[in-house]
């Protein structure tokens, strides 16, 4: 059985969707660790409820990004983690981290990449005035919201949408798309060829 670590900074609704898929045995893997860089992340509460081991690591306790990531890698090795799933983890991983886990780190982003990278994907799409936005699941590489794309889902922005109503639909789409992509990863069905991801 493969071991997954899920990294979260906030509410953890994507973590919950993955937990639910594991419980239903749609994802045949163990969530062996939930890590957060924020002590108040509700994701930690969700993990504890499910008796999943948690780790809180505050970036201010480390001298730089690489020492933080070294600490993470140490803990991932201890738990024999095979795959890392970023679920609302609002930190850029160092090149050192990526080298250690190349092709084994996924991220979900609330826009149709390469549009609206960064921490405000939903708000930025809405204020730009695009009519279509969506969700992207991708492998993580050294650059922000950049790696090869595994899956995307699109939705229409309505004239009446606010950030709240749009976020609701985005999250619903995320909770469908992310567990499916994690499942493909666990079942070793994804093959990276340059910027493209093929399904085996």
Q: Output the six-digit token pair for 11.
A: 């509410």
Establish if 146 lies at the interface with ligand GAR (CB under 6 A): no
CA distances in angstroms from 156 to 12, 53, 80, 125, listed in the order given:
24, 38, 41, 11
* Rounded distance between C-alpha atoms, residue 28 and residue 44, angstroms: 22
Establish if 150 lies at the interface with ligand GAR (CB under 6 A): no
The sign of the dihedral angle between the CA atoms of 43, 45, 48, 50 is negative
Close Cβ partners of 132 (under 8 Å, ≥ 6 residues apart): 112, 154, 155, 156, 157
175 part of the active site: no
Establish if 121 lies at the interface with ligand GAR (CB under 6 A): yes
- Whole-number minimum distance, CB 199 to ligand GAR, in Å? 22
Among 4, 6, 7, 14, binds ligand GAR (CB under 6 A): 14
- Total interface residues for ligand GAR by CB under 6 A: 16
Establish if 4 lies at the interface with ligand GAR (CB under 6 A): no
Establish if 10 lies at the interface with ligand GAR (CB under 6 A): yes
Q: For residues 8 and 44, which CB has a smaller minimum distance to ligand GAR in the complex?
A: 8
Among 87, 98, 126, 190, binds ligand GAR (CB under 6 A): 87
What is the number of alpha carbons within 13 Å of residue 91 lying toward its C-beta? 24
Q: Summarize as ranges the residues that interact with ligand GAR (CB under 6 A).
A: 8, 10-14, 87-88, 108-110, 119, 121, 145, 171, 174
């Amino acid at each position: 059985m493969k071991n997954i670590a899920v990294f979260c900074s906030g509410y953890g609704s994507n973590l919950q969707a993955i937990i639910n898929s594991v419980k239903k045995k749609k994802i045949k893997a163990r969530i062996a660790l939930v890590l957060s860089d924020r002590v108040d992340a509700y994701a930690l509460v969700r993990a504890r409820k499910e008796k999943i081991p948690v780790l809180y690591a505050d970036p201010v306790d480390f001298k730089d990004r690489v020492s933080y990531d070294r600490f993470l890698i140490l803990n991932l090795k201890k738990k024999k983690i095979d795959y890392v799933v970023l679920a609302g983890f609002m930190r850029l991983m160092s090149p050192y981290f990526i080298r250690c886990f190349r092709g084994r780190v996924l991220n979900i982003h609330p826009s149709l990449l390469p549009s609206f990278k960064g921490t405000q994907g939903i708000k930025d799409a809405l204020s730009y005035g695009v009519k279509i936005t969506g969700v992207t699941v991708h492998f993580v590489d050294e650059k922000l919201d950049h790696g090869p794309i595994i899956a995307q889902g699109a939705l229409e922005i309505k004239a009446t949408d606010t950030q709240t109503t749009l976020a609701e639909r985005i999250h619903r789409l995320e909770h469908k798309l992310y567990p499916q992509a994690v499942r493909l990863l666990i079942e070793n069905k994804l093959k990276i060829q340059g910027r493209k991801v093929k399904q085996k």
